Structure formats: C-alpha cells, structure tokens
C-alpha cells in the first residue's frame, strides 16, 4: 500500500486587517480569507494525524467566533469528518502538531490515545505555568498524560524516511513542518505557520507574536533549502490557493 494523505477541513480565519500578520507594518486594512486544514497520513505501518484544526465546539456557533482581530469558523467538526471516513480515533497511532496555537491544536484532546510526537521545546512551552492559563490549554491539556515521543532533532515517524517531522522553530519554540514522500506527488512539505500565505513567503513578513524572529528566518531558509534540494512542493497550510489545490475525501494526495 502506498502512502496517502487525506486532507481535512479544520476551519477558516477571516480578517479585515491583515497587519496582524506582519511585524513590519505591511498588509494594513487588507481582507484575508485563510484556510485551516489538517491532515491524516496513512502509512502501511500506521496513521499520523498532523494538526487538528479549531476546536469542534466552534462548529456549534453558526456565525463563528469573532476574536476582535479575525473571525474563526468551522463548518464540519473534525471528529465528524474522521467518523465519515470510517476512522476510529483509537486507530490513529501518532499525533503531531506543527505548533500549539489554537487554530492547530483545537481538538488535541481527541488524540490523547495516540502517541504524541513533539519537539521537546514545544512540549515545555505548552505546559509552562503561564500556558496553563491560556485559551489553548483546555483544548490540549490531556496530551500531558498521552504516550509521548519527544525529539530534539528531525524525527522520522515510521523509520523509513517517508514521513519526517522537520524542526522549524521560531513561530513557537518547537514549531515544525512535515515532509511526506509520496509515490505520485513526490516530496511535499506541509509548513504549518512558517508562512501564512504565498505572499508572506515572498516578502518574508512574520507576525510580531513569533517567539523568535531570527530563528524564524533561519527556519525559513532551512526549509527553502531542503525543498530545493529534494525538489519538494511546499504547502502553506493557511494559504487558500494551496487548500483549493488539495484533493478532498474520498480522494487523497498520493
């Protein structure tokens, strides 16, 4: 069986002032409509869930939630999407996040029975004292008791080089990207929030809330270099054009 990547809808973010995505004063007053996918990687040796979208509770709000800076919404619960795919949560062997922000970790508690693969720096960041009072925390706190596989260097999930979690810190201390080597599509790198849109990739604008600006630029250079070297396709997770180009269940990236 070849490697497959199923694409799930983890919500949508709409802002009328995209300047929040640039610490350098760009994008002021711009309307941005961003996707928020998550991915189920199916390997002959197991399944990996990469990111898990906004909390399913958001789908109960018909107009979404206005954070003051952007409106977040979720059309179909991620748990329901997995159910419709006939995926039992207990069959998902591994769970990993690009990073712990709430648009990526909203349903993390659902995956408490999976082995949580996490950069040690991100795990520490998520369970530091001040994080325990954050909005995100209630959505992922059960991971603290999950089986944990922590790493401090790139992590080869199935041991055959086909699915590799790449360290790409800076947005958060343990931000990561995911390299998947697919039979038909070739190598693909899902880049979390290393860039928010294609434009951010060109202009290299980063938001002011990144934990380390210089580290972010180093991660960008590293992932760009790796993509060139491997001839990999870069997928910017929030970029709507990338979302639009992805197959939908029952189709998958192969």
- Point out which residues bind Zn ion (CB under 5 A): 103, 193
Number of CB atoms found within 10 A of residue 47's CB:
17
Query: CB of residue 98 vs Zn ion: minimum separation in angstroms?
Result: 8
Q: What secondary structure letter does DSSP report for 68?
A: S
Query: CB of residue 86 vs Zn ion: minimum separation in angstroms?
Result: 28
Using CA atoms, how far residue 249 sits from 45, 127, 165, 179, 246, in Å, is 21, 34, 24, 21, 10
Query: CB of residue 251 vs Zn ion: minimum separation in angstroms?
Result: 24
Compute the distance between CA of residue 196 and CA of residue 201 in angstroms, rounded to an integer.
8
Compute the distance between CA of residue 71 and CA of residue 64 in angstroms, rounded to an integer.
6
Pick between residue 102 and residue 226 the one whose CB is nearest to Zn ion.
102
Report helix, strand or coil for 94: strand
Pick between residue 118 and residue 182 the one whose CB is nearest to Zn ion.
118
Query: CB of residue 151 vs Zn ion: minimum separation in angstroms?
Result: 21
Pick between residue 103 and residue 242 the one whose CB is nearest to Zn ion.
103
Pick between residue 20 and residue 89 the one whose CB is nearest to Zn ion.
20
Compute the distance between CA of residue 30 and CA of residue 230 in angstroms, rounded to an integer.
34
Query: CB of residue 213 vs Zn ion: minimum separation in angstroms?
Result: 17
Query: CB of residue 139 vs Zn ion: minimum separation in angstroms?
Result: 14
- Cα torsion 223, 228, 234, 236 to 10°: value is 50
Compute the distance between CA of residue 4 and CA of residue 27 in angstroms, rounded to an integer.
36
DSSP, residue by residue, 138-164: HHHGGGGGSEEEEESS-EESSSSSSEE
Pick between residue 15 and residue 115 the one whose CB is nearest to Zn ion.
15
Pick between residue 115 and residue 210 the one whose CB is nearest to Zn ion.
210
């Amino acid at each position: 069986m070849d490697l497959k990547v199923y694409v799930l809808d983890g919500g949508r973010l709409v802002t009328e002032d995209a300047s929040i995505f640039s610490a350098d004063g760009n994008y002021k007053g711009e309307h941005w409509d961003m996707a928020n996918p998550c991915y189920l990687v199916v390997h002959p040796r197991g399944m990996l869930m990469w990111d898990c979208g906004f909390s399913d509770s958001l789908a109960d709000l018909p107009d979404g939630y206005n954070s003051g800076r952007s409106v977040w919404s979720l059309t179909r619960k991620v748990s329901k999407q997995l159910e419709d795919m006939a995926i039992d949560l207990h069959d998902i062997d591994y769970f990993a996040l690009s990073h712990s922000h709430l648009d990526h970790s909203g349903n993390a508690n659902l995956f408490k029975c999976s082995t949580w693969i996490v950069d040690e720096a991100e795990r520490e960041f998520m369970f530091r004292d001040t994080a325990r009072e954050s909005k995100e925390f209630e959505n992922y706190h059960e991971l603290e008791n999950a089986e944990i596989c922590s790493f401090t260097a790139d992590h080869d999930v199935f041991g055959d080089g086909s699915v590799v979690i790449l360290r790409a810190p800076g947005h958060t201390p343990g931000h990561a990207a995911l390299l998947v080597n697919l039979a038909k599509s070739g190598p693909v790198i899902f880049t979390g929030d290393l860039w928010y849109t294609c434009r951010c990739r060109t202009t290299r604008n980063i938001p002011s809330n990144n934990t380390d600006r210089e580290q972010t630029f180093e991660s960008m250079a590293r992932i760009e270099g790796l993509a060139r070297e491997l001839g990999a396709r870069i997928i910017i997770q929030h970029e709507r054009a990338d979302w639009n180009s992805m197959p939908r269940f029952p189709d998958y990236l192969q």
